Amino acid sequence: MLLEHYSHAALARILTAAMLLFLGIFQIVAPRCFWGLSMYFKGAWGLSIGARRALDVSQRERLTRVLAARELAEGDAEARMRYVGAFTIMMAAVALFPAIPYVLPYALSCLAMAASVLTSYLHFRRATARRVAPLVRRSPWQSLPPIAMAATAICALGSAAFAIYPQFRVGSAIVVISTIALVAVAWRVALAPALLLGDDAQLEYLVDEHVRYCRVMGLVAQACAPPTVLVALAWATLPSNAHFFDGVMLIVALAFVAVMVMNLNPMRKRIGLA
Amino acid sequence: MNGSFLIVDETADSPPYRQIVDQLRAAIERGELRPQMPLPPVRQLAGDLGVAPNTVARAYAELQSEGWLIGEGRRGTRIAARIPNRDRHARARSLREAVERFYALLQTRGFTQAEIVAEVMRAVVP
């Protein structure tokens, strides 16, 4: 087969470039799949599936209105996501250069996505002269559960363990730095002020909390992905007697699965719409 | 969530600090904020409202000195267990001031006395 001529590292590089190319094209063609707010409200919120609790027509209209107003206040996020897509395609090309560790372009594209989320929040804060605040105490741990932080730390430490091998040293350093940077952005979003316009404050607050949770967990998943990929690719090249790293691989994989499960099940609260 | 919300409008005549004090006091009087209920920390509220932390701290301090709120140091600020016994004259003065502010605001927007009275009557007696 053609692929047999390539080394593990070259295959990983080609795979990373192909994945980034696909991701970049997808971000340009369908930016709302990465950014659109309504995608956070499917299923459990009853917009399309209504598996757990369907909204009635008037509640659905309220929710649609609130989401439309918020999208407007967040600025032209579609354009921002297209820029991120173009950047991701550039990174796909960069990933093919043998001199550059292939995890670097992957980590940079994750950071670009994170920056676009942060920009949405900054844009919203400047969008209105009227500010509305809920009179309840919030904690950043509501959006960023400690278990997700622990899982991210496990992923980062797992990839750092591979630094004992010289061939993985640069890659694992890049991955750990990108993980820390992405978690820092996630923490910043978790701490961000509540963004309400005040037209339907109660629903806006529910939407804000839910969007915040989904975005923070999305960033945490992005933070966990590069170390998990690095650990999986590096582990595959190790000799079969490296039992310690079998354990590392298993623990990192479990941590990543835990984060993905938390990411796929973001509906923590039932809707209490009056 | 069934809680209350504070609104600060930068374009309003009264300063943000006064808007916070008035709205918190009104929410306590209406019973929307129950006794002993914890309030958000100064930094959180300031961030949400887009004002300086000093603005919120000053509003909290004024309401504490009047007995509406209780400061508990690092544990934060709560609504007082008993709201202050404001005398009849103070209540009347507070209402009069609020109405005067409201009336003056509408006048600056070009509404006539007749229009304002008619709209208030329509709102009060639907």
Segments forming the whole domain that contains residue A202: 2-264
**Are residue B71 and residue B20 in the same domain, yes or no?**
yes
Q: In chain B, how many domains are there?
A: 2
| Exposure string for A119-152, b = 16+ CB within 10 A, e = fewer | ebbebbeeebebbbbbbbebeeeebbbeebbebb
Predicted ipTM beyond 0.95: no
**Are residue B72 and residue B93 in the same domain, yes or no?**
no
Res. B2: pLDDT tops 80: no
**Are residue B20 and residue B51 in the same domain, yes or no?**
yes
More reliable by pLDDT, A108 or B2: A108
DSSP H or E stretch at residue B100 = helix B88-108
Res. A269: pLDDT tops 50: no
Q: In chain A, how many domains are there?
A: 1
- Interface contact B76-A133, CB threshold 8 A: no
**B120, part of any domain:** yes
User: Which has the closest alpha carbon to A143: A178, A199, A193?
Assistant: A193
pTM: 0.78
**How far is Cα A176 from Cα B118, in angstroms, rounded to an integer?**
67
More reliable by pLDDT, A176 or B2: A176
**A269, part of any domain:** no
Which B positions 19-78 lie with beta carbon below 8 A of chain A? 27, 33, 38-41, 44-45, 47-51, 76
A-B contacts (CB, under 8 Å)? 76
Res. B95: pLDDT tops 50: yes
pLDDT band at A131 (very low <50, low <70, confident <90, very high): confident
Question: What would the pLDDT profile of A240-264 be if each residue is shown by its tens digit?
Answer: 778 888 999 999 999 999 998 888 7
**Are residue B45 and residue B70 in the same domain, yes or no?**
yes
Segments forming the whole domain that contains residue B24: 16-79
A196 chain-B contacts, CB cut-off 8 A = 5, 48
Residue in chain B nearest A271 by alpha carbon: B1
